[in-house]
Structures are given as structure tokens and as C-alpha cells.
Amino acid sequence: VTELVRFFFTEDAVKLVAPTNAAARLIGGDTVHAVCKLPLEAKDGAPRHLTHKVLETFQQDWDPTLLLWHDEISMQSTTNFYWMGRRLSQAKALRAPELESGAFGDLAIGVAGDFLQIPPVSKQNGSQHSLATVVNQEGYFETVTDDGKRTAKKATRYHRAGFLLWRRFTTVVSLTVALRADPALADILMQMRNKHISDAAWLTLQSRVLNMQLRAGGLVRLPPGTSDPRLAAPPFSTHA
């Protein structure tokens, strides 16, 4: 999708983002915070206003952009997702009060990710609310306490706004085959997704634990001073 947009328009017509620097570098992009000028930890969930000079430069940078592609969406919090939408409206010079109109600056938006993977995390507040956390019409969402009990909790203004913005995405393409994974690993990952792992798959996973031996009774640690021979072979070593 991104390459088609670049082919028919310009290289600057696409921006690639991800929640973390590591994920962004893998796709040749940058972090959401850097591209959308969001602080890492915003007080009360609201970023600061951009100065006139910064906003002018910001809008010039976004002027040729037609598509924003967001990878690793599971790591994006509802609050940051909402403010990303507001910033993009600023980038395209649209007022969009509360994003009732002009959401994301009327840009084409594509997202990719797996909500069974890493959730959003805050340095100061620990886990944040995932876009997959459903907020009902009364503004409450379900949470699980430390003792395993389920309880309803009132969503914050930005949590709810981010969730409602996320619900505007109605076209979904679901990939059911792991094309980049070894067939055996792909099968194990699918079993984990279905919350049922066969004995054979569990034995395969156990056999990959370093410095341990798989015997009839289970995993047994190698004798003291013994190095796992697999450490001398690829991918752990290039000297094999």
C-alpha cells in the first residue's frame, strides 16, 4: 500500500510510524511521538500547545503527506491515539473540535498489529489502556483486579475519546497465516493464540531452553561447568 502511494504520488506522500523507536526503525519510519510532536509523558493526558513557529514548520512538513501507516498498534494507548488524531488535524490545518469532523486531518490511515502481543506501557503509570479495551455507552470499561475479580471502572475523557476514534476503523484485513515464521513455529503460535498447546508443541518449546536437557521426566539443567553446545553454532555463533 505504502509503495503504491509513493509510486503514484511522491516519496513524501507517506509517513511510517510506530510506538517505539525499535519498531519504527524496522519499518524505516519514526516514533509516533516524534512525528506527531507528542510528549512521552503528558500531564493529565494532554500535550502542550505548539507555538506558532513550530506549528507552521509542522504543517509544512505534513503538507505533501497523504497516508500515515501505523505499525504495532497494540502498543498504542487510547490517550495517545486520540492526541495523535488531534495533532494530525493541526498538521492539515483542520480545527476538528473533539474530532467530530476532520479526524486525522482527513489523511488516509493504515494500521497493523496484533492485540495479543505487547500492550501499551507508560514509564510513570505502568500499563495504559489498549485500543482493544472496550468502553461502553455509559463510559465504563471492564478491568481485572490483582485478585482476579472483574470490575467496571469509569474511563477518562481521553481514554473514551481514543476508543471512539479507534472504532471509526471499519475495514479490517485479518492475516491467519504466519508467512515469515518457520512452519513449526507458526503452528505453535496459532495454538497459543487459541489458548491450547499440544504436548508435542510444549516439548518443542522445552527443547529450545538453553543450558537445559530434555529428558523423560522433563527439563534437567546441564552439569556445572558444562556449556550448551548450541551456543557454539549459528545463530549464537558465526564460527561454526
Q: How far is CA 172 from CA 140, 169, 175, 186, 191, in A?
A: 25, 8, 10, 22, 22
Q: What pTM was estimated for this model as a whole?
A: 0.75
What mean pLDDT do residues 199-227 have? 84
Q: pLDDT tens digits, residue range 108-155?
A: 999 999 888 888 876 555 458 899 999 999 999 998 777 778 889 999
30 versus 143: the higher-pLDDT residue is 30
Nearest residue to 158 (alpha-carbon basis) of 136, 143, 182, 139 = 139
| pLDDT surpassing 80 at residue 37 | yes
Distance between CA atoms of residues 63 and 93, nearest Å: 10
The band of 240, judged by pLDDT with boundaries at 50, 70 and 90, is very low
